[in-house]
Amino acid sequence: MLDSTVYPSIQRQRVEAALEDEANVDPRADLMYGIHELSEARPGYDQAEAYYDGNVPEVFTSVRLRRALAAHRIDFDLNFAKTPVNAVTNRLKVASITSPDKATNQLISKIWQDNQLNLELPDLFRRAGEYGDAYLMVLPVEDETGRVVRVEMFYNSPQTVRVIYDEENPRRKRMTIKRWCDGPYLRAEVLIDGLTERWTTGKNARGDDAGDWMPWPADPEDPESWRIENEWGEQPVFHFRTDRPYGVPEHYGAYGPQAAITKLQATHMGTVDYQGAPQRYALTETATTDTSDLDPSDFDDDDWPTPDAGPSDIGDDSSLKAGPGEMWLLRGYKAVGQFEAANPQVFLDPIMFNVRAMAQICETPLRMFDPQSSQRSGVSYQEEDSPFISKIENRQTSYGATLHEAFTFALRRLGVEDPVITVDWVPARSVSTAEGWQTVKAKIEAGVPRRQALMEAGYRAEQVDAWLAGTDDAELQRRVDVLASLADSAQKLGAAKTLGVITEEQVAQLMAGAIDDLEALANAQEEG
């Protein structure tokens, strides 16, 4: 961080101007600018939410078709667009946040438990993927003496919060705006370095004009408490994003394919009834087309409908009865037939094309959309996963830096002046196939240091160090051989199940028995 005496921040200048010479500063200028920026960004976030939730309506060029489907309230959405978001989020797992200092570690553990971060962080990461942006608020909580006793961390939506960056230095936060609805009122807070301004509207005001807003004191008995100073020197808002300065939803590239899938599926479902009950027709001779002057008494068949009879709701309009001894008498009809319903493949093939396009555009493996899409080897999966794994590692780097910043801020508020912390992630990829372990084995045999080979396999440094503690090269080689053999057996058993040679239950029993035997052997060796 730059020394404020060398390079005073725009925010600090703003605070000093507000406090020393309020007459020269429009107190609503930052507020209205922030509200404008928040409103401009809101439609994009709403669209991202709609596609993730599957609430995007189908689009039809035919007005009649749109009305027909709407009248039947057809709703058979296939929401594939959320898959790119969930696929990334499911791989983003924080392994640990640690410090070499024992006391700092205890504070980190307290922060984690107080804020249930095992639940809060996965939701934060998912929202960041859904919207492209997500905000973590970190607010110190003081006791009666003014001492910070704990720190609250919680997610805020980019639909209500937006960090605005300095145009001169895009990495610096110029200000943060937060606006929300509180019953008939609109509330807002403007956060700049060292200062928080609180604003409110009157009842049922729109908040579009500066005149709609008035100071909102934190203490009703202190009119000046709408402006709250602090000594932090920074804003307690931390921006998780997929890009800079603002993120792009993980499923942004899925919007077009998903819209096509929604339309295809809705149209397909509109034709299903015609496949079960085809539309029929009857052709008449020109001379007998007009039956308006027919006398019903001319016909012996009592079931023949009269000209003025309308259709019934119980299906008894036809004079033709199916059954033994029944005779079908068709009067005046030259031919009958039925219209063929649409071929389902006309819809299903384009749907799968759009799913494949979605996977390609969003750099998400196709098998995450369709687990039965292929039966390729583990090596092929690794090649297919490369762009996806790179994306996850990029998110780990970006989110990890922001998480580090947030915990550093929290620890400083709790009295740790210069905290040193490390954020570790569960590896985005780890070896679990026969080919993978054979590769690890080959690397070690070729002279690659065993620690390096295991880390390249996707395991964390602390995991590798724990495994290697007290283990010589021969023992390590034996373990790698066992894992390689076990993975190879699992792959072959899976192939046997696919061919129908063995059942899934038998595969599970064999693998469970083999693993139990290996564990018993390992325990016996450790005890010996």
Provide the residue-wise pLDDT of the chain in tens; the chain has 528 residues: 444 444 445 555 555 655 555 555 678 999 999 999 999 999 999 999 999 999 887 766 566 666 665 655 556 678 999 999 999 999 999 988 999 999 999 999 999 999 999 999 999 999 999 999 999 999 999 998 889 999 999 999 999 999 999 999 999 999 999 999 999 999 999 999 999 999 999 999 999 999 999 999 999 999 999 999 998 889 999 999 999 999 999 999 999 999 999 888 877 777 777 777 777 777 777 655 555 554 545 545 454 445 454 444 444 555 666 555 566 666 677 777 777 777 878 888 899 999 999 999 999 999 889 866 655 555 556 667 889 999 999 999 999 999 999 999 999 999 999 999 999 888 887 655 556 666 777 777 777 777 777 766 666 666 667 767 766 666 666 666 676 676 667 777 777 777 777 887 777 777 676 666 655 655 555 555
Contacts of 105 (CB under 8 A, 6+ apart): 98, 99
Of the residues 429, 461, 489, which one is the last residue of a structural domain?
Answer: 429
H-helix or E-strand containing 467?
Answer: helix 461-468
Residues 382, 503, single domain; the answer is: no
Residues 425, 386, single domain; the answer is: yes
Predicted pLDDT of residue 81: 95
> Measured between alpha carbons, how far is 180 from 188 in angstroms, rounded to an integer?
6
Residues 115, 19, single domain; the answer is: yes
Residues 363, 416, single domain; the answer is: yes
Token readout for 390 is 């790179």
* Domain count of the fold of the chain: 2
Predicted pLDDT of residue 345: 84
Residues 448, 392, single domain; the answer is: no
Residues 408, 446, single domain; the answer is: no
Residues 424, 496, single domain; the answer is: no
Residues 268, 407, single domain; the answer is: yes
Q: Is residue 202 part of a domain?
A: no
**For the stretch 382-420, what's the b/e string if a residue is b when 16 or more beta carbons lie within 10 angstroms of its beta carbon?**
bebbeebbebbeebbebbbebbbebbbbbbbbbebeebe
pTM of the model: 0.72
Residues 373, 423, single domain; the answer is: yes
**E-state strands within 183-271:** 185-192, 195-201, 213-215, 227-229, 237-241
Of the residues 429, 449, 467, which one is the last residue of a structural domain?
Answer: 429
Predicted pLDDT of residue 131: 98
Predicted pLDDT of residue 280: 73
Q: Is residue 294 part of a domain?
A: no
Q: Is residue 239 part of a domain?
A: yes
Q: Is residue 392 part of a domain?
A: yes
Token readout for 325 is 């001894």
Residues 440, 424, single domain; the answer is: no
Residues 400, 515, single domain; the answer is: no
Q: Is residue 174 part of a domain?
A: no
Domain, as residue range, for 496 = 436-528
Residues 449, 420, single domain; the answer is: no
Q: Is residue 401 part of a domain?
A: yes
Among 250, 460, 260, 266, which residue's Cα sits nearest to residue 368? 250
Interhelix angle for 117-131 vs 29-53, to 10°? 90
Among 138, 120, 7, 5, which residue's Cα sits nearest to residue 408? 138
Q: Is residue 267 part of a domain?
A: yes
The distance from CA 57 to its chain's CA centroid, rounded to whole angstroms, is 19
**Is 422 in contact with 99 (CB distance < 8 Å)?**
yes
Of the residues 429, 449, 475, which one is the last residue of a structural domain?
Answer: 429
- The partner residues of 179 in beta bridges, in order of sequence, read 188
> Measured between alpha carbons, how far is 387 from 145 in angstroms, rounded to an integer?
53
Q: Is residue 145 part of a domain?
A: no
